[in-house]
Structure 1
């Protein structure tokens, strides 16, 4: 069965298009993250402004995700992604021109990042809901793990390349990033979807907020995505990497790229393992254990003064995070009927955005108040605390044993 499933995955042309598109976008975003973080810190030398970068990326996702999820359940998901990437590429190229012509200030920088984040907000829910329209349910866990592995491959290379290219100036990084986003837009438009047979609900406030109502009715889904929200919210130490690279570890922009790559190396190896040997039992318990390791590795990174130990801590962080991501995404998608996937994915994106971008803001704010190392340390401890509380609040999630026990209805 495993060889048959692998063959079916490789023969799926649309999945191949989606994989290459994800590689392009992930590669681009990792380079973009390196350039934005380093340039903002160069402009301001402020942990607070590093946190603001996360905040302006989070606000569009918070304000638009429910609306985008509603669109994703009513209109062509490919077209929504493709069009938004065209506009995103244009704003990134504007950032390249602004850096080249030296009219970038911290205010203009934040404004352009905000516009890029608006475009990116239109991609999350339809992108999450797209994979079940390409592969069948029986091979979805393997396809999800495969998507994670190839995406993480780009995440590994992207930060290092971004750090090297940034030494020649941010313009080069932003220009290449914009081109990669355009390539992804073209590939997404070529995907063929197997459309489920359902009739979209009439547009109304009830249908707009239906994703929230659905999640509240499913303890497994609610527990999985809220765990990500609160656990990773406290574990956003990666937002402080520019400070660690420049002031604590003294390794420069290339070293920052290496540190950015470390979680992706761990995530890649773990996702490759999960693609070859997907979890077959105790998936709920495994997810909670993985998030505990995420918190522990954050604590080790916080107190480390060695580049080797820091790299290894971030390596474990990435490996444990991808276990949680694969399990959570599989649980959410398999528990959700197709006519609800866009709206449920939109709520999920709000939770993910809160944990990532708002988590970066929280880390930056905490670092400006208490210092960089205490902020990262507090984050790791907070993550572990959340896991222990969630295991008590959501016993059905802890007890989930096998994926095939789930049924979207």
Structure 2
């Protein structure tokens, strides 16, 4: 699905109407990850609960699974600037509450669970409104570029969030560090006070329909009738369930396997994590700089196949060098698949239902990462972590091929009907 005219490379970064938005989103994503680094360490040192570790993963992704379509309905009905600001304020509130509980030494398990859930809800609320703002800023022709660069800046936040979080722990300690983390949410929040874009400027009036949880899910009927949108959702769900957060969660296991005798295991662990993260960043910049890879169904399928295949290579190898290369290519394939699918879903979605369709994408994509814990927990116990990743990669490769066939048949049928 190519755009109608060539778009200058990095055009959205050259505009003061979009560049602060993209940078602010990257900083907010960094704040999100800094909070994980600080709070997860404190929670483990306080409670030593493996169950709580599992709940951290579930509480982060389950709101995406259950509430993303409803969040998309809110984005259709209301000013997206205010929805994103509400999400950022909720992030800041959660960081403030963590800080107060750390400072007073009154943190209890139930309080931790509530704050973890609120953090997940903030991320879910942010997603569809963020994508609608991208469409409003960039327009249809520049949308794929805006989605790519936004995904790249978010990847930068994910990459450097743990680094900055670790630095804050060392320099300030967990209490002062979590208070300082509030600063990272402010640039995006303040910028949205000044921009005239609402997420609806190009498409006219706001939706006037009801915004209820049940009514929101009626958009799945639209999704089901559009073969391309449904195919993108299936690809996203497959990637989330099979590989998703599994690689990052299982990285300590792989670092132990790959660390040579006498070498520093923590160093190898850090290198592997950095390789996966930098792959996403480099992949995003390459997509924009080259201008050769278009946001088409074929691109999404090939990138999903690459995501699974390179993950399999990483799980197979016993060489640190090959593992690093495979992880860089895995990260690059992942961001290509994600950014392409998001752009296609936006372009294919009916304007009146764009928010809920984007919410459906969040439900099938990030939301399905809720089950990646089951993938690594159950299959990892039965088969071992490396074989689990190999199996997940193989399922993703095969599933992507089958999904491509399904979309091709759907397009042929549509052509015959037309």
Give the TM-score taking structure 2 as reference length.
0.83
Instruction: Find 1:383's aligned residue among 393, 396, 399.
Output: 396
Name the SS for the 2:274 alignment partner: helix
**In structure 1, which of residues 220, 224, 249 is the aligned counterpart of residue 232 of structure 2?**
224
Report if the CA contact (8 A) 2:31-2:182 is conserved: yes
Please give the per-residue CA displacement for 1:49-68, whole angstroms capped at 9, x wherever unaligned. 54332211222223322222
Aligned to 1:300: 313
Shift of 1:361: 4.7
Tell me the alpha carbon deviations over residues 269-328 of structure 1, each in whole angstroms, 9 at most, x when there is no partner.
221121123346683222222112211222233345555444333211110011111211
Query: Is 1:234 aligned to 2:242, yes or no?
Result: yes
User: How far, CA to CA, are the matches of 1:97 and 1:241 in structure 2?
Assistant: 32
Hey, what's the Cα distance between the residues in 1 that align with 2:24 and 2:231?
Answer: 30
Closer/same/farther in 2, CA of residues 176 and 311 from structure 1, 3 Å limit? farther
Q: Gapped runs of 5+ residues in structure 1? A: 400-409
Tell me whether 182-191 or 242-251 shows the greater mean CA deviation. 242-251
Counterpart for residue 83 of structure 2 = 80
- Residue in structure 2 matching 1:189, options 183, 189, 193: 193
- Following superposition, the deviation at residue 114 of structure 1 comes to 1.0
- Whether contact under 8 Å (2:76, 2:353) holds in the other structure is yes
1:347-375: CA deviation from partner (whole Å, max 9, x where unpaired):
11111223334324532444355543343
Label 1:383 to 1:110 Cα distance change in 2 as closer, same or farther (>3 A).
Answer: farther
Instruction: Check 1:164–1:214 CA distance in 2 against 1; reply closer, same or farther (3 A cut).
Output: same
1:247, 1:52 → 2: CA distance?
25
Name the SS for the 1:189 alignment partner.
Answer: coil
Q: Does 1:125 align with 2:132?
A: no
Which of 231, 236, 244 is matched with 2:253 structurally? 244
> Structure 1 residues 288 and 7 mapped into 2: Cα distance closer, same or farther (>3 Å)?
closer
Shift of 1:42: 5.2
Alignment of 1:253-332 (within 5 A): 258-279=271-292, 283-304=296-317, 307-332=320-345
**Matched residue SS, 1:394:** helix
1:178 deviation in Å?
2.4
The answer for the alignment partner of 1:405 in structure 2 is none
After superposition, residues 168-187 of structure 1 pair within 5 angstroms as 169-187=173-191
In the alignment, is the contact (CA less than 8 A) between 1:35 and 1:166 conserved in 2?
A: yes
* CA gap 1:281/1:143 in 2 versus in 1, 3 angstroms: closer
How many Å apart are 1:7 and its aligned residue? 8.0
Distance in 2 (CA, whole Å) between partners of 1:164 and 1:330 is 35
Distance 1:395 1:77, change over 3 A: same
- What corresponds to 1:349 in structure 2? 362
Conserved in 2, the CA contact under 8 Å of 1:240 and 1:364? no
Equivalent in the alignment of 1:136: 139
Give the conservation status (yes or no) of the 8 Å contact 2:307–2:334: yes
CA contact (8 A) 1:51 1:362 kept: no
| TM-fit CA distance, 1:344 | 0.8
Q: Which residue of 1 aligns with 2:222?
A: 214
- Report if the CA contact (8 A) 2:9-2:291 is conserved: no
Task: Report the number of matched residues.
Answer: 399
Asked if the contact 1:232/1:383 (under 8 Å) is kept, the reply is no
* Structural RMSD (CA): 3.3
TM-score (norm 1): 0.84
User: Which string of whole-angstrom CA distances, capped at 9 and with x for unpartnered residues, describes residues 255-280 of structure 1?
Assistant: 65544332231122221121123346
Change (3 A) 1:244 1:140: same
